[in-house]
Chains A and B, each alone.
Chain A
Amino acid sequence: MIPTMLGITALVFFSMALSPGGVAGPLLNQVSRLNTVDAKRVREYYEKRYGLDKPAYVQYARWLNLISPIGWRPNPDGSLGGFGFKWPSLGESLGRHRPVSDLIEEFLPVTLLLQAISIPFVYGFGFLAGITSARRRGSAYDNFVGVSQLASWSVPTIWAGVMLIGFLANRDYISLFPSSGLHEAEALNMAFFPHFTPQGWQRGWLLDCIWHLILPVVCLSYGGSAFLTKLMRGSVLENLSSDYVRTARAKGVPENFVLYRHVLRNSLLAMITVAASILPAMLGGSVVVESIFSIPGMGKLGVEAVENRDRELVLAITLIGGLIGLLSTIIRDVLYAMADPRVIYD
């Protein structure tokens, strides 16, 4: 697992270092608007402080030292202090001049909130539509679900987002939802729950948040639920034609019991298998959704960091993205072992 993380960050770091302009290119270019003497001084300060004048592999080694709990303590001027245990750090963002860990702390919960709301929707819809269409195999309902899942799987998120904002959050058409952000400005002064005030009904912080999240969650979850519907249908059908179902039916087990006890449990395995690829895919999807709806999450931060070639921030985001990906693999393995007693990990 650690070699994999090393590989991911090395891949991103060296592609950043090899690119024209190199690390922090756009940021150093901004400096050149100053007069020559000042620009030179600022540039030298940056280069010394972040080690930008060193070769790429030294910079990478320096970053590895920074994030490891054992190593040389970095001094504020860029030199290295004594060797020993230290507090791992993600460094400071070159563009925002703030510690990267602060930025992550601010932006990551928003993305996780989006995911935490969308994933139950995705799985719930996938389950229901998959089971019902597998039960009525070949019927008009099944065909309808089949075609519409393929169609909604093909709808690009960018189109769905633009159309939803354009028609449902627009003064000229239907102004039902807000078009951007996570809160209204006045939500900061609201109480948490909806309640009545002397001025009338107030929707409260929670409801304001939900109201802002409806469109992004729809955008984020329709593709995944279409994919899971198809998967669930295939898996249920495969199990329905297996030997143990024939045996159960032959000995007179009620049909509902066969479906919801025997088949459902076995079909769960397929749904768990894809969890490891659904989570990273939805993280990628949130980059798009956050950009369309201007939600201050990791995706938006990532696009900005990449555009500025903000070394520390890009590496930290890649690290976290990779960690979440690996974490979902582990979650998948654990769930798999829980759902299927035949699976034993050495």
Chain B
Amino acid sequence: MTETAVQTMAPSLANDVTGRTMRRWGARLGLTWIVLLVLLAVFAPFLANSRPLLLKSHGHWSSPAIENLTPADVIIQAVFWTTIILWKMPVSLRTKILIELAVLVSTTIGALVWVHPSELVIYETYRQDERAGNVEKVINAPIPFSPDDHQRDLEDAQLKPPDSAHWMGTTENSADLASNMIFATRIALSIGFISVSIAVVIGVIVGGLMGYFVGWVDLLGMRLVEIFDAVPTLLLLLCFIAFFPRNLYIMMAIIGLTGWVGYAYFVRGEFLSLRDRDFVQAARAAGIPLRSIIFRHMLLNGLTPVIVSASFGVASAILIESTLSFLGIGLVQESSWGALLEEALGVGGTFYWWIALYPGLAIFLTVFAYNLLGEALRDALDPKLR
């Protein structure tokens, strides 16, 4: 009975909540901004690239932009288009997730084996060829600068305020700010999503075990929670980040590992109240395996506060990443909004307003969008709170 009941109940609650959430203007605005960011992140190499999208030179056509896609770009494209195709397909969620995973794994292997962008990157050649008249026809990206294009062929491209060539100005090392901002959406979105997923998984497991077994498991778990709770999170993060190599994946893992405490609290609380309920007793009496009781029966009933706080968690993960990058202990290779913002205050009291305004605004709007979404979700899931 339980299997079918759960499967028919869960989507209806989800539909109901989605409907009630989307009726709020805040949620709609937030979601619009996030979808926009996803599109920018997915199509970043086609929106901001020093290499022309299409080029006709000496009589034959080529596309330097597509030829030089990185393995990561190829994987992102494959996953994105699979998601779009699967969106309205009449198959169960489980099949969709399995197909996504299969596509992800196969393209990852394929991309790492076959996709080799040229190691030597000289962006100037395209501009020089175009200026010298060596090309018959060229279609450039809307922002014809890559994020790491330092424009060595142009004189005095450093720290230019916004103009028609550089919509958001240029940075200290002569890179185009708009292009950097577009590529930084990838960091912000992936950090938020993956680190919160890690935190939720750890929090659900620890909190679930604590709430289900009580007794000494609960006692030990609470001490662990206290340890992570007592130290200011930023200090703990500083320690971990500074001691390990600076790498996007390690950063995600560390933000996840320090952020699970809240979820563990919520799940523990829910489980403490659920464990004595009749349906759990019945499941236990029927001899259903523990894994199934915890994840099938109890978790689905106690997931509400976790979903809400995960939305706020994404916002705070993005804030944390930008703060760490701002303090100069974040990512070094990828462009990140926080690291860009750090360049705004130059030496000797100079202030470059465009470098302060745009990256800061991007962080603010993204965090705001996730907070609006979380707020709307909470109101939809718990009308009593309003």
Contact = CB atoms under 8 A, between A and B. Distances in A.
Contacts of B367: 154, 156
Contact of A317 (B229, B235, B341, B351): B235
Interface string B211-248: 00000000000011011011111111011101111000
| Interface size range on B against A | 35 or more
A284 B233 contact: yes
Interface in A259-304: 280-281, 283-285, 287-288, 291, 302-303
Contact of A151 (B230, B236, B242, B368): B368
B232 A281 contact: yes
Contacts of B371: 150, 153-154
Interface stretch (B36-44, B52-60, B270-278, B320-328): B320-328
A74 interface: no
B344 A162 contact: yes
A165 B231 contact: no
Nearest to B327: A291
A325 interface: yes
Contacts of A252: none
Interface string B318-338: 010011001101000000001
A163 B356 contact: yes
A239 interface: no
Contacts of A154: 315, 364, 367-368, 371
Given A11-B227, A158-B341, A20 B238 contact: no
Instruction: Give the top 10 A-B pairs by smallest Cβ distance, nearest first.
Output: A19-B243, A159-B360, A284-B234, A325-B230, A166-B351, A154-B368, A284-B232, A7-B227, A306-B242, A154-B367
Given A7-B224, A150-B371, A288-B323, 20 more contacts: A4-B230, A11-B236, A15-B239, A16-B239, A20-B244, A154-B315, A155-B364, A156-B322, A158-B363, A162-B356, A162-B360, A165-B345, A172-B350, A280-B230, A288-B326, A303-B329, A306-B239, A307-B329, A321-B232, A322-B231
30 contacts: A8-B230, A12-B231, A12-B236, A15-B243, A16-B239, A154-B315, A156-B323, A158-B360, A159-B363, A162-B341, A165-B345, A166-B356, A167-B351, A170-B351, A172-B351, A179-B349, A280-B233, A283-B232, A284-B233, A284-B235, A285-B234, A287-B235, A287-B327, A291-B327, A303-B238, A306-B243, A314-B239, A317-B235, A321-B232, A325-B231
Interface of B: 26, 223-224, 226-227, 229-236, 238-240, 242-245, 315, 319, 322-323, 326-327, 329, 338, 341, 344-345, 349-351, 353, 356-357, 360-361, 363-364, 367-368, 371-372, 375, 385
